[in-house]
Each structure stands twice: as C-alpha cells, then as structure tokens.
C-alpha cells in the first residue's frame, strides 16, 4: 500500500502546471484527471506567486488523500488573506452539472443589471453560446455557457444586480433534470384534469348549512362624486401613464452630461460650410473609391480630416485641464458619437492623424456596427481627445452640443440644406451646413475657437488644402 501511495504521489508531483495570467494558475490535464480519479479541480487565484500552494489529491482505497499534512494545509490557506480557492465538481453524484457565472466586466465596472435571458430552461446550449445579457453603465456583456449542455434552471432573475462571479444558471451536460416547458395541448390538459374530477365525485363535499339571508333596508343611492370646478387643474389619469426604470447606460449618460454642465464653462460658436466641393469630390470618385478600398466614401471622413488639421493648428483645443495644469496631447484620438437603441455611445478612432480617408471610413463603419449590435468593448470607447457629433443624420438644422468629459471641445455637424447664397455677386443655390463648436471657455478663448471652426470651414470647402497643407 505504501508503494502505491508513493507512485501516485510521484505521478501527481510530476504533473505540469500552466502559467497563464499573473494572478491565475491552472493545473494542466493529467492522467489522474483523465481516469476520473480526481474529484476536484482546484484553481488558485493569487496576486503573488509566492503565496501559491500546490495541493495534490491522491486516490487511495476509494477516498481522496491530501499529500500536504493537515497542519500545513490549514496554515497554507490561512497564510495570506488574498489567496482564494475556487473549485467546481467534475465527477461526483452531480458530476454532469456545471454553472454559468457572470464574467469579468472591465477594470472600472464592479456590477451590472441582468437585463434579459436569451435562453429558457430546457434549451440546448453550445460552448461559449450566450445565455443572458448583463447591462452595465457602459456596455452590454454576454454571459456564455462554459460547456455544451441543457439549461437546468436559472439562479438569478431579470433585473437583479450581479457582480463578476455571480452564478446565473445551472447547466446539465446530459440534460437530465432540466425543466422543460409543458406543451399547451388540449388533450393533455383534459387528461390531467380528469382524475381530480373523479376524486371529487367519489368524495362528496360536506354539507354546509346556509345562514339565513338578511335583506338590508333599501336606502337612498350614494350621492355622485363632486365635479371639479373649472379652476382646479385637470390631471391625466394614472392608468394612462407608464413608469419604466432607466437603463444603466442612460443613467451614465445623464450623469456625465450633467457633470459637464456643472464643471465646464460651456460656450458655443457657429459657422456655415458650403458643401459643394466636398460633395462633388465624393460624387466623382465614389465608384473608384469603393472598387479600390471596399468601402463607400462618405462626408464624415472629410470632416474628420478637417478636424485633425484644425486640432494640429490649434493644439489648445486638443488639450485638457488637469487640476492646476494643462495637458497637451501630441496625438489625435477622435471620438465619434453614435446613437444606438440603448443610448449614446462614443467609440474612438485611435491615432486618427495617421489615417487616410479609406482607413477613417473603414474604422467608423466597424465601430458603428459594433455599437449598434452591442458588441463594442470598453477599450474601444475609452479616452478620446475631441468629439464629433453628426446630428444632421437625424435632420437637425442647428444645435449646441455638450462636451464629452474630460475633453475640452466638441464639433456638431448638421443637415445639408440648399439655401440662396451670394457667390461672385450672384445669388445661387448652394448646399449649406451649419457647424457648431462647443468649448470649455476656462481653457479655450474665443479667438482660438473661431480660428478652429474657420479652419474646418476652409478645408471642407476646398479639400485641396489638405494635399498642399495650406
């Protein structure tokens, strides 16, 4: 018996260990696990390597024996409060059951709201298939099934506040014990309801003596409710109102916009742009552009390139106040405001100053698609030095956009409308667009703001300036 114990100990000690993240160690698959001898897979979570204790279980006469003495094992687990051991069963009486938990949601996100379930108990799920969605104040995160199986039951409920590691569902590999929704069949309902009816016939109900009915004296009808006077306000009935809780994303947007108003000295300046040349440029080269780059040439790329040029000529607009200091950025990350069914998100074009027209169009289309289907990540929305908001796609003629903190300015684009303009002494019809720049007046003076907006106007009206850098 001692020889068997030594051989098993040597086999366990020789098992390989895979080092992944700094804070996670996971044992590699060994012969012990392949033979279903090990009943637990123990994963150690620690912030420091010297806190890790390697514990090996060895089967002996149908029981699990720990190679580490009990006194050392207790001391090992109590050595550092940062050491946490999470385990899940692999082979036991319920060995085919596993759990789906809330994943890590980001460095700055501690919890979220369980918005909806994408599956029902009894449904079959595959590996990494989403079964629920968690709504945070920034993005929507999927809860995926770690393995293939059948959903047995849901532990959490829609609307619950959940944290990373919270159990959401119990899934069975074999599908046994899963709760299926009973089919709505008329014959089935008749069969199931007939036995109780027969039992009722066999057991007659006890007789209950009825109390004599005493007739109440007929009195005068109640007086009608008093009619409100003409001076009283007529409030709408409550049954015609609906109260819906705000989503986390909408709460976050509301908080940031209000913080922007409370923090910044907001001031907006306006100008108008003749879109004739930029629209003609797009019309002349749209087919060639699509053929070469595989993406349509839009107006947004022209405004992004114009904004980059203006930011480089007026670097104070690309700067930000940090306490008593001013931080100047020698790079340009353009945030593009995108309206989605769940709220406003602002993905970022990284190092936009190094992009050409085609790269700008591709990245905008990619980020907009992710934003609309809810697959955009937090990293793709973090940062940004300047924001462009295009309210013109919704038909807005003029607006005063609000700064996206902690940036210092935002450009507002609007709809293109043909208006009579004086060109060369003649009145002609021109496609015109109003543009607006809202800026933090604590940092940016009116002079810089006007020059910035003027530069955008010059570049959009004559895109050849970008080629000549004039």
Catalytic positions are: 441, 445
- Residues 6 or more apart whose CB falls under 8 angstroms from that of 28 comprise 15, 16, 17, 18
Give bridge partners of residue 270 from the DSSP assignment.
436
Q: How far apart are CA 20 and CA 424, in angstroms?
A: 69
Q: How many residues does the chain have?
A: 470
Q: Are 386 and 307 in contact (CB under 8 A)?
A: yes
In this structure, are strands 320-322 and 161-162 parallel, antiparallel, or unpaired? unpaired
Q: Are 346 and 384 in contact (CB under 8 A)?
A: yes
Q: Give the burial string for 448-465 (b: 16+ CB within 10 Å, else e).
A: bbeebbebbbbbbeebee
Q: What is the DSSP letter of 51?
A: G
Question: H helices within 20-104, ranges in order?
Answer: 31-34, 70-78
Strand ranges for 38-121 from DSSP E = 40-45, 57-60, 63-66, 84-89, 97-101, 112-117
Nearest CA-CA partner of 457 in 278, 260, 283, 326: 278
Q: How far apart are CA 320 and CA 331, in angstroms?
A: 13
Q: How far apart are CA 286 and CA 265, in angstroms?
A: 42
Strand ranges for 300-342 from DSSP E = 320-322, 325-327, 334-336, 338-340
- Residues 6 or more apart whose CB falls under 8 angstroms from that of 321 comprise 327, 408, 440, 442, 443
């Amino acid at each position: 018996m001692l020889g068997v114990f030594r051989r098993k100990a040597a086999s366990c000690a020789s098992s390989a260990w895979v080092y992944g993240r700094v804070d996670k160690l996971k044992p590699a698959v060994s012969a012990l696990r392949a033979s279903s001898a090990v009943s637990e897979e123990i994963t150690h979570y620690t912030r420091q390597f010297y806190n890790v204790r390697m514990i090996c279980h060895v089967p002996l006469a149908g029981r699990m024996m720990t190679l580490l003495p009990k006194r050392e094992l207790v001391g090992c687990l109590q050595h550092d409060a940062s050491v946490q051991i999470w385990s899940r069963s692999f082979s036991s009486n319920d060995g085919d059951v596993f759990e789906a938990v809330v994943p890590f949601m980001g460095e700055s996100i501690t919890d979220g709201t369980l918005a909806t379930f994408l599956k029902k108990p009894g449904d079959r799920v595959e590996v990494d298939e989403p079964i629920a969605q968690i709504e945070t104040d920034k993005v929507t995160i999927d809860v995926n099934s770690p393995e293939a199986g059948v959903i047995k039951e849901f532990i959490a409920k829609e609307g619950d506040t959940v944290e990373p590691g919270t159990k959401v569902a119990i899934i069975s590999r074999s599908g046994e014990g899963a709760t299926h929704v009973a089919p709505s069949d008329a014959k089935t309902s008749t069969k199931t309801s007939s036995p109780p009816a027969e039992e009722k016939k066999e057991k007659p109900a006890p007789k209950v003596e009825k109390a004599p009915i005493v007739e109440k004296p007929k009195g005068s009808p109640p007086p009608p409710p008093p009619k409100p006077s003409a001076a009283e306000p007529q409030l709408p009935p409550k049954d015609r109102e609906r109260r819906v809780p705000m989503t986390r994303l909408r709460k976050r947007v509301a908080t940031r916009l209000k913080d922007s108003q409370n923090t910044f000295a907001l001031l907006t300046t306006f100008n108008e742009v003749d879109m004739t040349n930029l629209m003609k440029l797009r019309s002349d080269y749209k087919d060639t552009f699509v053929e070469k780059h595989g993406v349509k040439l839009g107006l947004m790329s022209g405004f992004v390139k114009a904004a980059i040029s203006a930011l480089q000529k007026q670097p104070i607009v690309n700067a930000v106040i940090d306490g008593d200091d001013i931080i100047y950025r020698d790079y340009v990350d353009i945030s593009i405001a995108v309206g989605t069914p769940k709220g406003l998100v602002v993905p970022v074009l990284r190092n936009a100053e190094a992009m050409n027209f085609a790269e700008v169009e591709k990245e905008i289309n990619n980020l907009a698609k992710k934003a609309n289907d809810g697959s955009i990540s937090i990293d793709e929305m973090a940062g940004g030095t300047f924001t462009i908001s295009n309210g013109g796609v919704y038909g807005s003629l003029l607006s005063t956009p609000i700064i996206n903190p902690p940036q210092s300015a935002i450009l507002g684009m609007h709809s293109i409308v043909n208006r009579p303009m004086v060109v060369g002494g003649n009145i002609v019809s021109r496609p015109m667009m109003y543009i607006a720049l809202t800026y933090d007046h604590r940092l940016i003076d009116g002079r810089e703001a006007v020059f910035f907006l003027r530069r955008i106007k010059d570049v959009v009206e004559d895109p050849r300036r970008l080629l000549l850098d004039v």
